[in-house]
Amino acid sequence: MHPKPNALPWLLLSALLIALDQLTKWWALSALQPPGLPHPVIPGFLNWTLAFNTGAAFSFLAQGSGWQRWFFVVLAVAITVALVVWLMRTARREWRTALPLSLVIGGALGNLIDRLHASQVTDFIQVYYRDWYYPTFNVADCGITVGAVLLILFGLRSSSHR
């Protein structure tokens, strides 16, 4: 009896997301100077605005004295290892699990690269409406968010089918 192929090839999607994330951050660093200056894309809704975050989502712990960098590095590595193990135990055909996991892995590693390289994460996507501004984010954050939402939605869907 042969073991069923696992979902590790989905890590290619993670690698693609990492490459896209790093490419867009490189573009943002070179094209969107100075930091904080909005470059309108869709007036009234979307700007490219270079920003840096030493914390986590929504600048959580950004005011720390530097310890948070290593906390988030360790957290990203631990989460990535756990998700890769989950992928190893997932059948390749189970795309409803493999797709979201690979997106979260790619996003976590994209931001991890920033933390290791520059001690901060580069953000540049700014969504707003009038005086309301969503926290500036990046492509890696999109991968984490979309992956987490899909994992929840697919999980809820499969549990309702049981």
Residues labelled catalytic: 123, 141
Four-point Cα dihedral 110, 113, 118, 120, nearest 10: 40
d(CA 116, CA 127): 27
Instruction: Count CA within 13 A, CB hemisphere, residue 4.
Output: 10
Residues with Cβ within 8 Å of residue 11, at least 6 apart in sequence: 84, 87, 102, 105
Q: Which residues pair with 28 in a beta bridge?
A: none
Strand ranges inside the chain, DSSP E: 39-42, 46-53, 121-129, 132-133
Using DSSP, how many helices (H) and how many strands (E) does the chain show?
4, 4
